[in-house]
Amino acid sequence: MDKLPEGVIEPRWIAGSPTLGQVTADIARPMEGKPGKLWYVLFAIALLGLLDLLGMATYLIANGIGVWGLNNSVGWAFDITNFVFWIGIGHAGTLISAILLLFRQKWRTSINRSAEAMTIFAVMCAGLFPLLHMGRPWDAFFIFPYVPNQHGPLWVNFRSPLVWDVFAISTYFTISLVFWFLGLVPDFATLRDRAIGKIKKLVFGVLSLGWNGSHRTWSRYEIVSLVLAGLATPLVLSVHSIVSMDFATSLLPGWHATIFPPYFVAGAIYSGFGMVLTLLILTRQSMNLQRYITMRHLDSMAKVLLLTGSIVSYAYATEFFSAWYGGNIYERYHFINRATGPYAFGFYLMVLCNVLAPQLFWFKRIRNHVGALFAVSILVNIGMWFERFIIIVVSLHRAFLPSGWGMFYPTLVDIGILVGSFGLFFTLFLLFIRYMPMIAIWEVKGVVTDQQHMAHPSAETIGTAGAAGIPAPAGAAGMEHHHAE
Amino acid sequence: MRPLMILLGAVIVVAAAVIGVQHLFRMGMQQGYAPAQPIAFSHKLHAGDNQVPCLYCHYGARSSRHAGIPSSSVCMNCHNILEKQTVEIERFKEAAQLDRPLVSWVKVHNLPDFVYFNHSRHVLSGVACQSCHGEVEKMQRIEQVMPLTMGWCLSCHREHAGVPTNTLERAALRFSETPKPKTGLDCASCHY
Amino acid sequence: MSDHCNGAKDKLVTLGARRPPAPPQDYWTSPDELHHGPALRGEFPGGLPEIPAAAIHLPASGEPATAGAAPDGHNHDHEDHDHDHDGGDPDAGIGRRDFLTLMGFGVGAASLAACRAPEQRAIPLPVAAEDMIAGVPNYYATTCGGCASACSLLVKQRDGRPIKIEGNDVSELFGGATCATGQATVLSLYDNERLRGPLWQGQPAAWAEIDEHVTSALAAAAGKPGKIVLVSSTITSPSLRDIVARWGRAFPSFHHVVYDPISASALRLASAQAFGRAIIPHYAFDRARVIVGLDADFLGTWLSPVEFARAYARGRRPDGPTTLHVQFEPGMSVTGSNADRRIPTAPSELGAIAAALLARIARRAGEPEVAAAADPVDPTILDSVAGELWNHRGASLVVAGGNDAALQLVVHTINRLLGNIGHTVDLDRPSLQRQGDDGAMTALVEEMQRGEVHAVILHGVNPAYDYLDGPGFMKALARVALSVSTTDRRDETAAAVHAVCPDHHFLEAWGDAEPIAGYLSLSQPTIAPLFETRAFADSLLRWIDAPGDYYSFLRDYWRTQVMPRQSALATFDAFWDHTLERGVLDLGPPTTPSGAVASADPAGSDWRAAVSELRDESQRAAGTEGRTDGHFELALYESVAMRDGRNANNPWLLELPDPITKITWGNVAELAPSTADKLGLRDGDIVTITAAGGAIEVPVFSQPGQHPRTISVALGYGRTQVGKAGNGVGVNAFPLTRLVRGTRRAWADGATITATGQRDKLATTQSHFSMEGRPIVLETTREELGHAERPEALPNLWNERPAGERSWGMTIDLDACTGCSACVIACQAENNVPVVGKDQIQRQRSMHWIRIDRYYSGSEDNPQSVHQPMMCQHCGHAPCETVCPVLATTTSSEGLNQQVYNRCIGTRYCANNCPYKVRRFNWYNYTTGNHSDYHMANPVGRLVLNPDVTVRSRGVMEKCSLCVQRIHVAKNTAVKRGEPMQDGEIKTACQQVCPTDAIRFGDLNDPKSQVAQRMHDQRTYRVLEDLGTRPNVAYLKKVRHGQTT
């Protein structure tokens, strides 16, 4: 929705009409004041989780993969499930920051910063598992092509999806990190100007790369962000497609499916938005930012969930159909086993969370009820984790030769590491909302100015409005800067 | 002034990186390793000046995976009839008589781990001892001359298999036409 | 072969009279290690090659010495696959190189100082031995001591250590084959818990001291009335029997009791009645067109399984004449699983069935009518079986396993009436393999209780464990003035004897054997004794102070007794060298028939009485508790893995999946699925089984094909003083056996079963027994074979691989495979496959490179079963290869799927993508003893490891390599010979051991090679062919032989 027909009022993404200074003050508050009790409680819990992760990982590396519940039939279970899960989580961030930027979706402004942060932290969690799941993690560097080496030279196997993963994920992480940091620069400048105390000033000074809010800077900035957005956009599709090929290129019934790439991408965005919703509701309530993260934000994210959830459900149906229609006995048995075998409970849990739960969002009352949204978002997270578990474990535990059939039972270490990865994620995220502007100040200001322009309409197109509105905050920041002196 | 500093810094960083990486790749290589031996046995004297054939003492190399270090009894074959005596030769005599091992030599040529190298296979196919051990007959004290890395082994195996030793050429070859695979280049010819 | 011949000669020279066995402290001077000790470390993360002097003289407590005592003074850290040479503590987590690898990224420069590889030492052999070149194996012919079958062996000795047992293909009886037990005996040699020396009153003592005590005690006994008794298991050695005879002359009160816990004495009693000679006939299964087995597991454990399996397969080739094998048995056995027709039968009915068959055959033979009686099973079956037998008179064979004289007499009579004597039943050259005499043993125990026995020498027996009344025996033993045991450990019996005089392991000893009358074979030491043990024969000679040692005695015996019976060679030395080299000698039928007793008229032998006796018994069993609910018949059987329990401390055998139940580490109560349902018992529920002999607590396993009114329990488990590995594994069922009509019976009726409420997770390696209608094991019939064209090969989506010089392939004949599982152990021995222990098996983490899948088809009550050896299929388009990120697994130019351990980083992606699930991951480091404390974790046990195969460490994938090390050996010998390799020169371990020649290996590029020809057999197919994996391992369809209604 680039342009609106005459007479229609542009939807308001910020409640009330705060002054620009007020916006800065609101968003900078958590960084300058003390956080609420809730933050401390959450942080303590997250920290415990992180410690658990460290302990478990040490135990794992000291003893060997045997401490997990894996066996000759099931070579992957929680490890790769968690990996795919976390990679998936990441996708919402990139989607919001890149694609929605290209489409000039202004509602993203309040949420993109935290969403991007979430992406980075999620990818960090994900990156942990390929390392941990190796039998000999100390030789992990074998999977990087390093020449010249003394082995002749010895190369990596470019046919192996695991090698593609290495490239995909490292690229993904780099781009996301750069994009995120770039978005932070103007805000760092603002903070630098507000900062009291030498150290803060120095830190923010360095981080803001000597930003001066001149028009020239802004226009270049705009271009760079667009370019980066262009670079990031294909990643949204490519990364999870490649991850899905870990399975699609194998010959296992349940893995060997051509629909995996789109199916996984949809699933990734679905789970990602689920997580964004969870996080935003948490921050919104704990940091009382209701003004900037409005019900309308939550509402539109619910709609995205509804859409992607439906795509995922369609993919499930397709899998069953092709299994039946393809007539491959192994494939057919696999899907019968999926629905009736020893892991059926997981399958139905998955259906409940990923197929039925999002359908609630057809109703506006549910989309506008924070409690309900939160509950569903949790369900989505659970459901998507189980989806990966079903795909991986159920396919492996009963493959071609019945003599090789077995069962996977998780051990405490399996569960401990899963919990621990959440510990790592939330530790990072909580630190982020405590010490960094978790909402893009300058972008919000853009929206605010638009809204004021809306109040007395002008011929300005929204596209340029973003840019036109921008110098103001810098100016404002400048004034505050003088006050500080 | 400032750009100069930056340039200088960059140069230093790059140089450090390159050197570091090179060293990392050479990790575990023992080229030039020449430890002192418990007995100052001179290959120059025996193999060089007196022309004792390698395979006379290291007879294992003809029939076995291992070349073997000769027993004291083998030494005595000659030293029983040679009148020149030294303390160390005495020790050998004693060893042979007591049927007790006295000397524990320091191994010089150690291959990387998990490689099965078969001496007899190479000796029988006419590979000169020197091509891997260097000019032993000129050495007072044995030194590892060759790198003994996998890449080094392969370069020779490739030459004999008619496969280019240069990585890029090989890569090019792949695309044009697949060369007839050679046993000597299989992983399992050395790793199993 | 030439290699082994020379080897044998040299061995004679070096280990014979000229050079006395080196004392243990010299033992570690194995040339390989002396030349190269530390250098070999590359091949052994386990620090294998040296057995440190310290380790040899471990305290009897078996405290294992650390590898730190090794000559090079280096200890070894196994955490990292790139094993290291520096002295690290085995428990220190990551090794030096790994550490560096990790640090390498960041602080490489800082670590460079530490980067020098540590110093490695090498100690040469002081005096060169001409027959020992480091790294070159020698092969020596000897005789197996694993059980009384006395199979002839060829032992691979590498640098002074026997490391692999192979069959001696010169032998007509056993060929190149061995059984699982035989394969595993080499590990028993390196059992860290063997006694280090003799014990007196439980305390270590010197041999001289022991001899002092024993001789004086014997001298004292000679004066008194009290008897001197030698209790031994079957002695197949003629020379040793001769020494025993000398004892008889030395001590008038001496007598010899032969005691086998699982004996065939009823068979000998019956022979005495039927043929006038107390012998065990020699059965020729290859000549039999119709075989009827009455609970005789002749392919698994009965009498001489290896020989019988070979003959059985020889007689049943799909291209040969039609054969029929009918098996009546309570629980499914290896034999039953191969039978054309298997009829589940309660043990109490077997006698009646024999009787019924005899009645029918007697009628046809024109004998006076036998009183009719109700048939225990469907009469039509008996009619047709009897008919088939009669139609194949002279070419049929009936064998019964039951240890009951009446039953055996009836079976003898059936064979006699069928005219099988002299054809399939050979009386002239009887089997001497199971001489146990139940009656004599019970008599002895009574005498001991009455205090009439002064001295007892126990050799190769363990009555405290396996006698039907162990405690009773021990009480009686306490009343004996002198008790001596020659066991190699302080077992249940030896714990209470005065003197323990440990015998050599058979691989350390001289000896001879005569399994079948006239078939002799020699044993020679393949290693100097590891510990301060002494050959039993030497002890016997010493105690009657005969001059000379056993070796000279043996030579004298052969000079005087054996030499004259042959004419081939003139001088004794030539004869001796020749025989020792070949290992076996066929003298033809003996001139004096053995075991002759008061001659009885065969026809007149009172078999009618036996018939009625059997029928009455069956009636009784039927009438009383037998048939009523809640009462079962308990059938105790000898399991393939444990046999009579003498090898119960052998981790290989403990972890060998039972060919039928696929259960490891313990025995179970096998119930019919229907019965289990009726009793509401699930697999793993622990139940109490009470029978006349007592009660045992054992987990339940519902076994398809089990007779609904029976419970089968394996014997040989439940040892309590055998060692770390074997103690308390399973339960001891021997006490439930009973003495009936003077023979020991392995079944009991009126057994009750009650659930205890506890559960035990069964350690099984295969949990699903149905093929789910998938084309995995394909079957065909003889009819189809004639006119069936081979299906054309599937189209190939990819380019063909460019062909290398050779293309290795393997074929496995599913029709020949009996599932005996010898190949599993052979592979384990050849390829250093670790033992992982019960817990890991429960987690489905067995490491066997070759497994035998067993599938059932048909009804659960009496299914048809197939055995399918499954190992890496060495696919041309291997799914594992494309997914490995680091190229750790690739296809060689010769079609091998090669796994490079030091490149593997353990993503397990390959295992996930392998449709055959044959890849094995090292979940832990199995050489440290932290997670599985078996032979690989102690310096003595490590001596069994094969220096030509890497010992894998934690975190890497492994799998069948088609014995690539053997391929390399063959190539090298070909280069040495200067002429090309012959077909069949390379035998993989599994192929070499196979009694039925089911496995063939060779070069597919050579159209004349056996394997290439088999590839074109019309039965040939590949498993999961439609996946396009293009395996180089092919299977030959199972042929269903002629069926009877």
Check if A154 contacts B (Cβ < 8 Å): yes
- Lowest-pLDDT range of A87-91, C54-58, C298-302: C54-58
How many residues in total does chain A contain?
A: 485
C72: which chain B residues are within 8 Å (Cβ-Cβ)? 104
- Lowest-pLDDT range of A121-130, A146-155, B161-170, C370-379: A146-155
B27: which chain C residues are within 8 Å (Cβ-Cβ)? 100, 104, 108, 112, 115
Return d(Cα C516, Cα C432) in angstroms, integer. Answer: 6
Residue C104 has pLDDT above 60, yes or no: no
Look at the block and give the residue holding tokens 């697949």: B178
Return d(Cα C234, Cα C232) in angstroms, integer. Answer: 6
Q: Which residue of C has its CA nearest to A74?
A: C912
Q: Pairing relation of β-strands C584-586 and C519-523?
A: antiparallel
Mutate to test the interface with A, among C839, C890, C908 (most CBs of A within 10 A): C908
Helix A412-435 vs helix A37-63: crossing angle, to nearest 10: 140
Return d(Cα C143, Cα C233) in angstroms, integer. Answer: 16
Contact A414, A68 (CB under 8 A): yes
Return d(Cα C511, Cα C236) in angstroms, integer. Answer: 10
Query: Which residue did the predictor score with more confidence, C753 or C6?
Result: C753
Residue A280 has pLDDT above 90, yes or no: no
User: Tens of pLDDT along C481-511?
Assistant: 999 999 999 999 999 999 999 999 999 999 9
Within 10 Å of residue A457's Cβ, how many Cβ atoms? 11
Alpha helices in A327-411 (DSSP H): 329-340, 344-351, 364-367, 370-389, 395-397
Contact C901, C950 (CB under 8 A): yes
What burial letters (b/e) apply to C718-752, b meaning 16+ CB within 10 Å?
Answer: bbebbbebbeebbbbbbbbbeebebbbbbbbbbbb
Check if A150 contacts B (Cβ < 8 Å): yes
Check if A153 contacts B (Cβ < 8 Å): yes
pLDDT of residue A93: 80
User: What letter does residue B44 receive in the DSSP assignment?
Assistant: I
pLDDT of residue A27: 73
User: What letter does residue C794 receive in the DSSP assignment?
Assistant: P
Mutate to test the interface with C, among A72, A81, A84 (most CBs of C within 10 A): A72
Q: Which of residues 897-926 of C touch A (CB under 8 A)?
A: 903-909, 911-913, 915-917, 919-925
* A206 CA: distance to closest CA in chain B (Å): 17
* B177 CA: distance to closest CA in chain A (Å): 19
* Residue among C551, C726, C738, C747 at smallest CA distance from C633: C747
Average pLDDT, chain C: 84
pLDDT band at C628 (very low <50, low <70, confident <90, very high): low
pLDDT of residue A441: 77
Residue C1044 burial by CB count (10 A; 0-12/13-18/19+): exposed, middle or buried? middle
Return d(Cα C485, Cα C494) in angstroms, integer. Answer: 6
User: Tens of pLDDT along C424-453?
Assistant: 999 889 999 989 999 999 999 999 999 899
pLDDT band at C581 (very low <50, low <70, confident <90, very high): very high
Query: Which residue did the predictor score with more confidence, C717 or C603?
Result: C717
Average pLDDT over residues C784-798: 73
Percent of chain C residues past pLDDT 70, beyond the cut:
86
- Lowest-pLDDT range of A384-398, C34-48, C712-726: C34-48
User: Tens of pLDDT along A80-119?
Assistant: 999 999 999 988 888 877 777 777 777 677 778 888 888 9
User: Tens of pLDDT along A402-460?
Assistant: 999 999 999 999 999 999 999 999 999 989 888 888 787 777 777 777 666 655 544 43
A69: which chain C residues are within 8 Å (Cβ-Cβ)? 843
What string of DSSP letters covers C511-577?
A: EEEEEETTEEEEE--SS--SSS---HHHHHHHHTT-SS-HHHHHHHHIIIIIGGG--S-SSHHHHHH
pLDDT of residue A393: 94
Residue C114 has pLDDT above 50, yes or no: no
Query: Which residue did the predictor score with more confidence, A251 or C784?
Result: A251
Residue A16 has pLDDT above 80, yes or no: no
pLDDT of residue C25: 37
pLDDT of residue C899: 93
Check if C593 contacts B (Cβ < 8 Å): no
Check if C128 contacts B (Cβ < 8 Å): yes
pLDDT of residue C926: 92
Are C903 and A401 an interchain contact pair (Cβ–Cβ within 8 Å)? no
Residue C311 has pLDDT above 90, yes or no: yes
Q: Give C155's strand partners.
A: C140, C165
Interface ipTM above 0.95: no
Spell out where C773-813 has E strands: 779-781, 808-813
Return d(Cα C286, Cα C291) in angstroms, integer. Answer: 10
Return d(Cα A384, Cα A390) in angstroms, integer. Answer: 10
pLDDT band at C29 (very low <50, low <70, confident <90, very high): very low
Q: Looking at this protein, which amino acid is placed at residue C419?
A: G
User: What letter does residue A477 receive in the DSSP assignment?
Assistant: H
- Tokens encoding C51: 């057995």
Residue C155 has pLDDT above 90, yes or no: yes
pLDDT of residue C615: 86
Return d(Cα C506, Cα C186) in angstroms, integer. Answer: 9
Query: Which residue did the predictor score with more confidence, C342 or A111?
Result: C342
Whether the link from the prior residue into C775 is cis, omega within 30° of 0, is no
- Tokens encoding C208: 């001289």
- Lowest-pLDDT range of A372-381, B61-70, C1029-1038: B61-70
Query: Which residue did the predictor score with more confidence, C947 or C590?
Result: C947
Residue C969 has pLDDT above 50, yes or no: yes
Return d(Cα C737, Cα C691) in angstroms, integer. Answer: 9
Return d(Cα B149, Cα B160) in angstroms, integer. Answer: 17
- Tokens encoding C94: 């990551």
Report how many Cβ contacts below 8 Å link chain B to chain C.
185
Residue A154 has pLDDT above 90, yes or no: no
pLDDT of residue C695: 93
Contact A70, C957 (CB under 8 A): no
User: Tens of pLDDT along C699-723?
Assistant: 999 999 999 999 999 999 999 999 9
Are A64 and C923 an interchain contact pair (Cβ–Cβ within 8 Å)? yes
Check if A148 contacts B (Cβ < 8 Å): yes
Check if A152 contacts C (Cβ < 8 Å): no
C1024: which chain A residues are within 8 Å (Cβ-Cβ)? 400-401
pLDDT of residue A287: 72
Are C846 and A166 an interchain contact pair (Cβ–Cβ within 8 Å)? no
Residue A6 burial by CB count (10 A; 0-12/13-18/19+): exposed, middle or buried? exposed
Check if C870 contacts A (Cβ < 8 Å): yes
pLDDT band at A478 (very low <50, low <70, confident <90, very high): very low
Residue C42 has pLDDT above 60, yes or no: no
Could you give the C-alpha distances from C100 to B32, C38, C82, C106, C416, in angstroms and in order?
21, 21, 11, 10, 77
Q: Give C204's strand partners.
A: C199
| Cα pseudo-dihedral A363, A364, A367, A369, rounded to 10 | -110
Cα end-to-end span (Å), chain C: 48
Check if A139 contacts B (Cβ < 8 Å): no
What string of DSSP letters covers C624-662?
A: TGGGSTT-EEEEEE-BTTTBTTTTTT-HHHHTSPPTTT-
Contact C506, C147 (CB under 8 A): no
Q: Give C865's strand partners.
A: C856
Return d(Cα C595, Cα A82) in angstroms, integer. Answer: 74
Q: Which of residues 6-65 of A touch C (CB under 8 A)?
A: 61-65
Q: Looking at this protein, which amino acid is placed at residue C279?
A: I
* Residue among C651, C719, C662 at smallest CA distance from C852: C662
User: What letter does residue A406 receive in the DSSP assignment?
Assistant: -
Cα Rg, chain C, nearest whole Å: 29
Check if C855 contacts A (Cβ < 8 Å): yes
Residue C55 has pLDDT above 50, yes or no: no
Are B147 and A150 an interchain contact pair (Cβ–Cβ within 8 Å)? yes
Average pLDDT, chain A: 83
Look at the block and give the residue holding tokens 């091949």: C43
Contacting residues for A468 by C-beta, under 8 A, at least 6 apart: A449, A460
User: Tens of pLDDT along C975-1014?
Assistant: 888 888 889 899 999 999 999 999 999 999 999 999 999 9
Spell out where C202-350 has E strands: 203-204, 227-232, 254-258, 280-283, 290-294, 324-329, 341-344
Residue A330 has pLDDT above 50, yes or no: yes
Nearest to C923 among A66, A134, A333 (CB): A66
pLDDT of residue C33: 39
Alpha helices in C843-904 (DSSP H): 879-883
Residue C763 has pLDDT above 50, yes or no: yes
User: Tens of pLDDT along A51-62?
Assistant: 999 999 999 999
- Lowest-pLDDT range of A376-385, B70-79, C484-493, C553-562: B70-79
User: What letter does residue A97 receive in the DSSP assignment?
Assistant: I
Q: Which residue of A has its CA nearest to C906?
A: A135
Contact C398, C389 (CB under 8 A): yes
* Residue among A114, A116, A422 at smallest CA distance from A279: A114
Q: Which residue of B has its CA nearest to A152?
A: B151
Q: Pairing relation of β-strands C779-781 and C1038-1040?
A: parallel
Alpha helices in chain B (DSSP H): 2-25, 43, 54-57, 60-63, 72-79, 87-98, 119-124, 130-133, 150-161, 167-176
Could you give the C-alpha distances from C565 to C152, C235, C510, C585, C589, in angstroms and in order?
20, 21, 21, 11, 11
Residue C831 has pLDDT above 60, yes or no: yes
Contact C524, C142 (CB under 8 A): yes
User: Tens of pLDDT along C906-941?
Assistant: 999 999 999 999 999 999 999 988 888 899 999 999
Residue C802 has pLDDT above 80, yes or no: no
Residue C84 has pLDDT above 80, yes or no: no
Average pLDDT over residues B10-34: 85
Are B151 and A151 an interchain contact pair (Cβ–Cβ within 8 Å)? yes
Check if A33 contacts B (Cβ < 8 Å): no
Please give the model's pTM, rounded to 2 decimal places.
0.87
* Residue among C734, C715, C720 at smallest CA distance from C668: C715
pLDDT of residue B161: 82
Residue C157 has pLDDT above 70, yes or no: yes
User: Tens of pLDDT along B146-174?
Assistant: 988 888 888 888 888 888 777 777 777 76
Look at the block and give the residue holding tokens 């959440």: A422
Are B63 and C133 an interchain contact pair (Cβ–Cβ within 8 Å)? yes
Q: Which of A27-31, A190-194, B80-84, C332-336 has the highest mean pLDDT?
A: C332-336
Are B68 and C35 an interchain contact pair (Cβ–Cβ within 8 Å)? yes
* Residue among C526, C508, C515, C512 at smallest CA distance from C583: C512
Average pLDDT over residues C222-238: 88
* A270 CA: distance to closest CA in chain C (Å): 27
Q: Which helix (H) or strand (E) holds C694?
A: strand C694-702
Q: Give C812's strand partners.
A: C999, C1035
pLDDT band at C117 (very low <50, low <70, confident <90, very high): low
